[in-house]
């Protein structure tokens, strides 16, 4: 398949690009190379004949038209986005520009290309979205594909707007689209502004680990490689016009996950002072959603996808990666040291429940 992946130098995008290239797909990676990009995650792919990186802004229609026409894709997988909630609160304009206008620009470019090509049935425009568009859950229940949108942050509102544009271009123009909503991703190579790498980098450095409010907010977690596999499954077998929720059923409170990571780090890099002592509760952020949880039964029942990673195995693998790649994340922190926080096999049989902080 000939693919265009936007945001393919980002955390999820780079893992998707790498997997697609490994499977033999011909991939054009379009990325604006903002602070969140990591070219080192894909630099070795430059030697592959079925891969090319094109630094470009998805809001530039002329460039998008040229790249789409040159590559002649069978599918456009749209992952390019501003994604950090705290940054969206501080500066929502860039989020509106990228997540809304960027999606609009790509849709129009895709529609023009698809129309010129005779509207082939096998073309796909794939919007990779987030569960945050649904807003906050109460203490019970899970997000389904029919949950109403109720975004509460500039980030989630602009992602929701992009989703609505994608649906409208399908309903109005017949553009063959797919959409998926994933729970919180984690794994090797994630930017240290995000929740799990923020905890790890702060703990390793012996610095205070900030946790918003009481830390009772609950999140559903999925390993990035499981998410990538699910995206490719939806691309290959998903029904046109449908949405699919992607999650691994790994829901934990923020404070419990922070403590569990600190205890796991203690087994990897023992410290005289417990890492849990570094946890510091800070003022909660505005509009902080209390709980997310994904019902992924549709993708499982219709497409046969299931996650491979348990949270215990995924966190152990992720921690080991950050311990052995400290030069990578310390260089990022030196470049961008704003004090904000984002919302394999486990060694020795360790489990989250062993932390003593997670309710059964």
Is 90 in the active site? no
Q: Is 155 labeled as catalytic in the residue annotation? A: yes
Q: Which of 26, 132, 163, 229 is catalytic?
A: 132
Task: Please provide the size of the chain in residues.
Answer: 360
Helix (H, G, I), strand (E, B) or coil at 1: coil
Catalytic residue among 26, 82, 86, 131: 131
CA atoms lying within 13 Å on the CB side of residue 46: 9
Distance CA 284, CA 229 (A): 34
Q: How many CA atoms lie within 13 A of 145 on its CB side?
A: 13
Is 149 part of the annotated catalytic residue set? no
**Which candidate in 155, 186, 244, 322 is catalytic?**
155
| Adjacent-strand bridge partners of 203 | none
Question: What are 6's two structure tokens?
Answer: 């936007």
CA distance 195 to 231: 23
Direct distance between the N- and C-terminal alpha carbons of the chain, in angstroms, rounded to an integer? 44
- CA 288, CA 313: separation in Å to the nearest integer? 28
**Which amino acids are annotated catalytic?**
131-132, 155
């Amino acid at each position: 398949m000939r693919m265009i992946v936007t945001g393919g130098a980002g955390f999820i995008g780079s893992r998707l690009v790498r997997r697609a290239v490994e499977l033999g797909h011909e991939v054009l990676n379009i990325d604006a190379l903002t602070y969140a990009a990591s070219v080192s995650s894909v630099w070795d792919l430059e030697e592959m004949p079925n891969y090319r990186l094109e630094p470009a802004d998805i809001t530039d229609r002329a460039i998008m038209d040229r790249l789409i026409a040159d590559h002649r894709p069978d599918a456009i997988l749209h992952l390019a986005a501003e994604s950090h909630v705290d940054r969206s609160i501080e500066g929502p304009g860039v989020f509106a520009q990228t997540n809304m206008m960027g999606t609009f620009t790509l849709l129009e470019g895709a529609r023009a290309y698809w129309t010129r090509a005779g509207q082939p049935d096998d073309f796909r425009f794939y919007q990779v979205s987030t569960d945050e568009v649904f807003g906050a859950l109460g203490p019970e229940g899970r997000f389904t594909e029919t949950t109403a949108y109720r975004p509460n942050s500039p980030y989630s509102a602009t992602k929701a707007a992009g989703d609505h544009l994608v649906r409208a271009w399908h309903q109005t123009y017949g553009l063959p689209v797919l959409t998926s909503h994933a729970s919180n991703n984690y794994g090797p190579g994630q930017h240290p502004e995000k929740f799990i790498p923020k905890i790890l980098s702060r703990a390793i450095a012996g610095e205070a680990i900030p946790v918003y409010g009481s830390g009772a907010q609950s999140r559903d977690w999925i390993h990035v490689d499981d998410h990538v596999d699910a995206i490719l499954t939806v691309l290959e077998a998903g029904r046109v016009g449908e949405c699919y929720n992607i999650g691994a059923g790994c829901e934990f409170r923020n404070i419990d996950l922070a403590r569990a990571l600190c205890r796991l780090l203690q087994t990897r890099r023992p410290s005289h002072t417990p890492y849990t002592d570094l946890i510091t509760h800070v003022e909660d952020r505005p509009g902080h959603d209390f709980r997310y949880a994904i019902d992924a039964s549709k993708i499982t029942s219709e497409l046969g996808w299931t996650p491979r990673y348990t949270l215990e195995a995924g966190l152990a693998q992720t921690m080991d990666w950050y311990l052995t790649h400290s030069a990578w994340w310390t260089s990022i922190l030196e470049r961008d040291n704003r004090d904000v926080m984002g919302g394999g096999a486990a060694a020795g049989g360790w489990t989250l429940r062993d932390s003593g902080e997670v309710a059964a």
